[in-house]
Amino acid sequence: MSNDAPTGDRPAPAQDAPHRIRRLPQRGSYDRAVIDAILDEGLFCSVGIATATGPAVIPMAYARRGDELVLHGAPASRLLKTAAGGAPVCVAVTLLDGLVLARSAFHHSLNYRSAVLFGVARELTDPQDKAAALQAVVEHLLPGRSADARPPNEKELAATRVLAVRIDAASAKRRSGGPLDDAADDAWPCWAGDLPLALSPLAPRPTTQGVAPGPPPAAVAAYERPRRTG
């Protein structure tokens, strides 16, 4: 079964490493190609931080830029401010691939691919660095878009905090394929299998502000996320 095959890729990190996969390690991987494919396909991440009163998790846009994950937001954002100050962060990107409808309630599951990374963010302060990182965020949404849109001006750059987290202590986990029921349930009388789910674009809607835009470019009209199986 594809979801039970050991990945045989990079060796697991030390026992106490934060990104070491403990549960169902056969579903895990430390392979950068696997991790990067998930990061490149996802559109939002869940950023976790530990505050004085407990953990906080916030969804954010992001982009992978080489060996780093770029986050951005308002300078006043508490989470970004805390992360910029050196507090460790954990970033998870999860792609939902389907429902696993087993014969037994116990073996119901989700098919998914997820990447989780742990690290300390560095803040980008040079306006050119910030502009390049923010360009990656726009390109991540739609490749080629940053050549078409108005680039950020000085004021906009100043009004944006940009952080980068190294993709270093990172791991991926995934489940795919059908249910894994016990043989004793082989004849249980209900339908069983998996139901793939995919994020699909609907019809683009032109802005109602300013000059009416013409028809959407092909990249928007036939939008697709990059998808590599790895």
What distance in Å separates the CA atoms of residue 87 and residue 60, rounded to the nearest whole number?
Answer: 17
Q: Give me the least distance between CB of 131 and a second copy, in Å please.
A: 9
Q: Which of 32, 65, 122, 145 binds a second copy (CB under 8 A)?
A: 145
Residue 204: strand, helix, or coil = coil
Q: Which of 63, 137, 165, 172 binds a second copy (CB under 8 A)?
A: 137
Phi, psi (degrees; rounded to nearest 5) at 28: -100, 165
Count of residues interacting with a second copy (CB under 8 A)? 101
When asked if residue 55 is in the footprint of a second copy (CB under 8 A), the reply is yes
When asked if residue 88 is in the footprint of a second copy (CB under 8 A), the reply is yes
Q: Give me the least distance between CB of 23 and a second copy, in Å please.
A: 6
For a second copy, the binding residues in 193-222 under the rule CB under 8 A are 193-211, 213-217, 220
What distance in Å separates the CA atoms of residue 174 and residue 226, rounded to the nearest whole number?
Answer: 17
Q: Give me the least distance between CB of 39 and a second copy, in Å please.
A: 14
Q: Which of 14, 105, 226, 229 binds a second copy (CB under 8 A)?
A: 105
Q: Which of 107, 96, 3 is nearest to 46 (CA)?
A: 96
Q: Give me the least distance between CB of 18 and a second copy, in Å please.
A: 6
Q: Give me the least distance between CB of 94 and a second copy, in Å please.
A: 4
Q: Give me the least distance between CB of 157 and a second copy, in Å please.
A: 9
Q: Which of 66, 156, 227, 228 binds a second copy (CB under 8 A)?
A: 156
> Letter for the amino acid at 225?
R
CB nearer to a second copy: give 68 or 161: 161
CB nearer to a second copy: give 33 or 56: 56
Q: How far is CA 60 from CA 45, 113, 187, in A?
A: 5, 18, 45
When asked if residue 3 is in the footprint of a second copy (CB under 8 A), the reply is no
Q: Which residues of 164-203 are buried (b: 16+ CB within 10 A; e: fewer)?
A: bbbbebbbbbbbbebbeeeeeeeeeeeebebeeeeeeeee
**Hey, which residues does 171 pair with through a beta bridge?**
116
When asked if residue 75 is in the footprint of a second copy (CB under 8 A), the reply is no
- For the chain, the straight-line distance linking the first and the last C-alpha, in angstroms and rounded, comes to 15
